[in-house]
Amino acid sequence: MPEVLKAPLIVEFPFTRSLGPVQSAFLTGLRERTVLGVKTGDGKVLVPPVEYDPVTAEEIRDLVEVGATGTVTTWAWNHEPRPGQPLDTPFAWVLVTLDGADTALLHALDVDGPEAVHTGMRVRIRWAAERVGAITDIACFEPHESAEEAQLKPYDGEFEDAVTGIVAPARLDYTYAPGRAQTGYINALAEQRAVGERCPSCRKVYVPPRGACPTCGVATDEQVEVGPAGTVTTYCIVNIKAKNTENAAIEVPYVYAHIALDGADLALHGRIAGIPYDQVRMGLRVEPVWREGGRYPDHYRPTGEPDADYETYKEMV
Amino acid sequence: MAKEPVAVVGVGQTKHVASRKDVSIAGLVREAAQRALGDAELTWADIDAVVIGKAPDFFEGVMMPELYLADALGAVGKPMLRVHTAGSVGGSTALVAANLVAARVHGTVLTLAFEKQSESNAMWGLSLPVPFQQPLLAGAGGFFAPHVRAYMRRTGAPDTVGSVVAYKDRRNALKNPYAHLHEQDITLEKVQASPMLWDPIRYSETCPSSDGACAMILTDRAGAARSPRPPAWMHGGAMRSEPTMFAGKDFVSPQAGKDCAADVYRQAGITDPRREIDAVEMYVPFSWYEPMWLENLGFAAEGEGWKLTESGVTELDGDLPVNMSGGVLSTNPIGASGMIRFAEAALQVRGQAGEHQVDGARKALGHAYGGGAQFFAMWLVGAEPPSS
């Protein structure tokens, strides 16, 4: 079996977060070197604060200031920090119960090695030099011998110029593998041939092939060369550039068409060019146009044949 | 043992808007849930389980948001689960919740669906780059536009039908205080003059991008007996699926949609939907889907759906009103859109739809679809308890 193709697939977006009143106060507080918790109905102090009582489900808004020092309740050593983590040298992930709080906050502890960490050790916040109203305003925690200070200060949560939203960039790194059937199809396309697969049960020819027939649920492996010409079964004229997507690079208007290649039993999708966009029509006969080194046809253009009769392709409309 | 009859005793929605920057996702869902509890005159303690739904996680970038929403929805110490069937999820979420009551697993269930589209960009979320493939597709509009053209070709519908639907739904939205779009000065000419985005679909024939949530309280007979307001009773509910693409798939009128409707009608004893159903809330994100679904759902013969629309039958004062609330065309918090259809159908038979109430509505259909027209979820609700 030929080697299956693989390629990196990166999914990345700068998501936004509307904070709501409680997270807004918490993050703005960090900017001002003030750690806020929230009191629940049974008098517990949650840090980080939440909007709704975990026991009664009531809305909770009673904010209090807790200490910048606290106690490690548990930890795990991170020997190989990844990009975007709080520190770029090995550190301990710690849960810290800040003085006055009843729950622990997850953060990083800057120490030389795991032998320097223990549950119950006292630590304090190391503030970031530049603070913007984000969890990263706490650069990390550091060891700090001090007595526990249980004094809670009520806090109105009101700040000048409060942070109401944050940007939370997310990135996922995948390795995409299209599988055996698609690999065969993609490799054939690189040789400017369209190769589908026939279902042994219903005899339908799938282009691109998926390796199995979605109707019969059986594996397909009989390769069938189709095309190169085909018929436009339906289409739309795209008049807007889609922001944030890769096809934003295509000049508009362009015609996005369903094309039934000769010998295929369902249409694939392609761009029609070489004809004014407003003259594209259902039944138009087209053929692929290749670019040097392209993995797939750049677009399809009219073959010059008479249009296909509607009866010949209406099952695919 | 027969199934337990299921009643809708509470409905709550947020005012749907382009961006709710003042609340977190938790704050947004909380608003809808509180309103549903208020409508039912119940408290968090009366809820036995929570079933929530939303569209793909990429729409907000919060993986498994149900985990973080447990406290906002009073689910601590109770079963909570999430349903996911793309755009139809609001409908299938309600059905999963209803089935828990029908099976007597729980007495009273809170079901809720939401989307906060402003946190991300749905067009991006639906157009992730796939290696080795030409990037051509741009969001849902580009995907569905060729199927609209296919419908026009198959039926010979005049190209004005899409604008008639949009004009109707936007006017209906003016009577719904929760609708996102309130275009006070809408005219048919304005719809027809709006730019073509994905020809044959015009800008004004597409749904907006909304932040919003919708919640319902579903309960058993005992719960319904305590309801302060008239309940809506579920007479039938079904879901069907099919692959996104397969040889022989009918994108214009998918088999899964026909089968789903037939199952609901069988459960509800409906033999002539056009005459027996008083109002329909169907999932129409692009205006042409109204005539398409009228056929798929059996309200019109194949090729005839557009005639109902064109002749005014689906207007608020027509004899088969469709999307009295303004529909998805006026409000689209994607994950919630299906549940809004189900909830609006319930409001109609409860007589609680306010200015967009259809006089004397006794039976109403709620409909949702999703994915590449491959997931379908529907329910039929009535003013009276089911007879069997």
In this structure, what DSSP letter does residue A149 have?
-
Q: Are B307 and B292 in contact (CB under 8 A)?
A: no
In a domain, A308, yes or no: yes
Which candidate in B80, B127, B128 is best for mutational testing of the A interface (most A CBs within 10 A)? B128
In a domain, A163, yes or no: yes
In a domain, A177, yes or no: no
pLDDT exceeds cutoff 90 at B374: yes
**What is the rounded CA–CA span in Å between residue B278 and residue B262?**
17
Q: Which residue has the tokens 């998805």?
A: B328
In this structure, what DSSP letter does residue B206 have?
B
In a domain, B170, yes or no: no
Token pair, residue B384, equals 């009276």
Angle, vertex CA B266, rays to CA B367 and CA B82, nearest 5: 40
pLDDT exceeds cutoff 80 at B26: yes
pLDDT exceeds cutoff 80 at B127: no
B134·A270 Cβ contact <8 A: yes
* Tens-place pLDDT, residues A125-152: 999 999 999 999 999 999 998 887 766 7
High-pLDDT (> 70) share of chain A, %: 97
Q: Which residue has the tokens 């690079």?
A: A249
B23·A271 Cβ contact <8 A: no
Considering CB atoms only, which of A23, A186, A238 is closest to B142?
A238
Q: Are A117 and A109 in contact (CB under 8 A)?
A: yes
Total domain count, chain A: 2
In a domain, B332, yes or no: no
**First-to-last CA distance in chain B?**
12
pLDDT exceeds cutoff 70 at B198: yes
Q: Give residue B61's pLDDT band: very low, low, confident or very high (50, 70, 90).
A: confident
* Residue B136 pLDDT: 75
Q: Are A253 and A239 in contact (CB under 8 A)?
A: yes
Q: Are residues A153 and A54 in the same domain?
A: yes
CB pairs under 8 A between A and B: 190
Q: Distance (Å) from the C-alpha of residue B243 to the closest C-alpha of chain A?
A: 7
Nearest residue of B to residue A212, measured between CA atoms: B246
| Last residue of one domain, picked from the residues A170, A190, A217 | A170
pLDDT exceeds cutoff 90 at B141: no
In a domain, A220, yes or no: no
Q: Are residues A164 and A25 in the same domain?
A: yes
Q: Distance (Å) from the C-alpha of residue B372 to the closest C-alpha of chain A?
A: 14
Q: Are B281 and B342 in contact (CB under 8 A)?
A: yes
In a domain, B277, yes or no: no
Domain carrying residue A286: 227-317
Q: Give residue B129's pLDDT band: very low, low, confident or very high (50, 70, 90).
A: confident
| Last residue of one domain, picked from the residues A155, A170, A185 | A170
- Complete edge-to-edge strand list for the sheet that includes strand A35-39: A45-46, A35-39, A63-66, A153-154
In a domain, B20, yes or no: yes
Q: Are residues A19 and A152 in the same domain?
A: yes
Considering CB atoms only, which of B71, B197, B246 is closest to A215?
B246
Q: Are residues A49 and A130 in the same domain?
A: yes
**What is the rounded CA–CA span in Å between residue B143 and residue B224?**
42
A236·B201 Cβ contact <8 A: yes
In a domain, B98, yes or no: yes
Domain carrying residue B15: 7-121+208-225
Q: Are residues A161 and A263 in the same domain?
A: no
Q: Are residues A137 and A56 in the same domain?
A: yes
Q: Are residues A166 and A263 in the same domain?
A: no
**What is the rounded CA–CA span in Å between residue A265 and residue A220?**
14
* Tens-place pLDDT, residues A217-271: 999 989 999 999 999 999 999 998 876 666 667 888 999 999 999 999 999 999 9
Contacts of B120 in chain A (CB under 8 A): 13, 15-16
Q: Give residue B372's pLDDT band: very low, low, confident or very high (50, 70, 90).
A: confident
A244·B123 Cβ contact <8 A: yes
pLDDT exceeds cutoff 90 at B124: no
Q: Are B216 and B29 in contact (CB under 8 A)?
A: no
Q: Are residues A237 and A132 in the same domain?
A: no
| Last residue of one domain, picked from the residues A131, A151, A170 | A170
* Residue A246 pLDDT: 64
SS3 B335: helix
SS3 A303: coil
Q: Please tell me the pTM assigned to this model.
A: 0.95
Q: Distance (Å) from the C-alpha of residue B328 to the closest C-alpha of chain A?
A: 21
Q: Distance (Å) from the C-alpha of residue B248 to the closest C-alpha of chain A?
A: 7
Question: What's the Cα-to-Cα distance from B285 to each of A283, B120, B328, rounded to whole Å?
Answer: 28, 19, 5
CATH label of the domain that carries residue A277: 2.40.50
Least confident of A14-18, B166-170, B379-383: A14-18
CATH label of the domain that carries residue B12: 3.40.47.10
In a domain, B59, yes or no: yes
In a domain, A195, yes or no: no
The complex's ipTM works out to 0.92
In this structure, what DSSP letter does residue A212 have?
B
Q: What is the DSSP string of A33-93?
A: T-EEEEE-TTS-EESS--SB-TTT--B---EEEE-SEEEEEEEEEESSPPTTSS-SS-EEE
Total domain count, chain B: 1
